[in-house]
Structure 1
Amino acid sequence: MQNYRLHRSCRTAKMSYLCSMENIAVHIEKLLTRHECVIVPGLGGFLSYRESAVIRGLQMQPPRRSIRFNALLSYQDGLLAEAVMQSENVGYKAALAIIEREVLAIRGSLGENRAVQFGRIGRFSSDGDNAILFTSDDCSFLPENLGSHPVYLKKLSPLARPEDAHRNIVIQLPAHGGRAWRYAAAIVFIFMLSLLAPTRVDKGTLRAFMPCGIPEETRTGIRPAQKTEATRMETAVPDAPATETVETAAVARSVTAKIAPAATSAPQRPASADRYHLIVASLPSRPLAEKYIGEQTSFPQETLRIIECDGKYRIAAASFSTRRDALRHLDSIRGTHSAWILCH
């Protein structure tokens, strides 16, 4: 009877130890779902870290979280004690006493070279030097590991047979397609010629937008007047009276007088005219240009004039006969006004 009571008391103490240890493991499992590190004072710390995907042969392990144990982390962080306080409805010192009792029980089992299963987290064991060894389980209780089961890959068959790798590929063009190829070649030849053809440039438009630093050279000259000679044709009519001959000569003189003015060349602008204009504004219409002159206070209004060129109405503050004079005047007002030189 006495032996039965002793055996029953030992069995009750063992069950109490296992239940208490399971409760501690459950607390740590819940804490690891919210924290990356949970420390058990006097035992060590459990660390949660992320592993990358791994391929081993035909098995692919998706990314998941694993748990490691570090026996050097033995200080009190308060997480486990707070969980025990809320679960057991005890104070802080009582929670620390429960944790300390469980740590002593685990170390006692390891000292007897017995392995200890610590819930779903892993398994503790010891080596010959009394060092604590920890083997992690699959940690399926972590939220990031839900559904992350290994994937087994199927071995793929070769894409091409060795005898097909050296097979020659022959492309035959239809015999009746020679005319189509000639047409295509002609189209390509015409297209290449169009790319090499010169492009006409409107010099008047280009000169309007030419910067003042690169003036265009223009050569002016007076084309010699062409001499027009009127040829008088006299027709001899045997029976015509003398009065008809006089009228024919008068008509010839009048025709010569009318043709002579048309043969003279148009008057040319003298080479000494002011061709370089200092432009201070460019407007799209004449009314806007006149309004600009009326509102202008930076320059005397009597010196401003409108120059129409290529559909633009430009305001000239001054005009010069040489480019050097225009540039000298432009440098004198460049700091206060935005201006440029037009060669027109």
Structure 2
Amino acid sequence: MLISIKKKSMFVFMQLATYISDLLYRYECVIIPGFGAFLTQYQSAQIDQASHTFIPPGKALMFNRQLQTNDGILANYVASVENCSYTVALQKIRNFTGALSLQLSEGKKVTIAGVGEFYLSDERAVQFSPSEKNNFNTASFGLAPFEAQQISRETYKEDITALEKKTPIHITPERRKAPAYLKYAAIGLVAIALAGFGGMKLYENSVQDHNFAEKEKAESLVESQIQEATFIIDNPLPTVHVTIPKEQGKYHIVAGAYRIEANAQKKIDQLTSRGFSPKTIGVNKYGLHQVIYSSHEDRLEALRALRNIKNTENKDAWLLVKKLDQ
């Protein structure tokens, strides 16, 4: 029975590791609630001069122990993939972090497949070593580092120089002489080329002078017509003010989701009376009307607002990452 429980726990651990790896392809920050956050940063293509290796663009993977507040991304993904409730998904994540922390406290190194390895330092601080196998930049999918052979140009140059020394080329004075008629023919060709070039320049100059004169005439005619024109508007149209809605952002702080639309409207009225500017963002795939406190463009700003709402208003509020249709 104990062996069966261990196997089940190991299977859940591997599943969560796979989910984290999947999300790192889509997001720059994936938070494991209560443990820390994986952060990715774009890294341009590189060339290793020492090994002549070309490395494609990728994402540098880091770990931040300070970011532990649940933003809902991992829990929602687990609930969607395993077709379970949000609460059950959170419990699975807690089991994952508990098993991870227990193994670290025992001095073991814990490997998350495709992501990296965790271990404790001598000061009992959590350390992370990223894996070099996965490139989380989707634009570089299928690209792998490759090594190119160095081109030895100097070697070829030295070989040619040595060959010229062995087999020098001798040019006799007789071969360098040319018949007299070839000299006169060459002089004639040069004269014809110069004459043709001079004629072409004269033709180009005359065309430019003609174009400039015509341009001056056209500009003077347009100017005189503008000066003679008079514009009179008897009934001017009223000024129309157009308000263009600003982009709401893709990070939304969710206050709740309701099966009945009237209950969602009651929540909006309640939050409005408290000074918020709530709204609904449609119905999710479970048929629930979602009500949000606010939307944000910047992820860190959204996390700060979520933390403030959890501490002062609603501890069950969570962050939804979704681009809304305009």
Normalising by structure 2, we get a TM-score of 0.49
The structure, 1 or 2, with the larger RCO (C-alpha pairs under 8 Å, 6+ apart) is: 2
Question: Larger C-alpha radius of gyration, 1 or 2?
Answer: 1
Which structure's residues are more often helix, by fraction?
2
Task: Give the TM-score normalised by structure 1.
Answer: 0.47
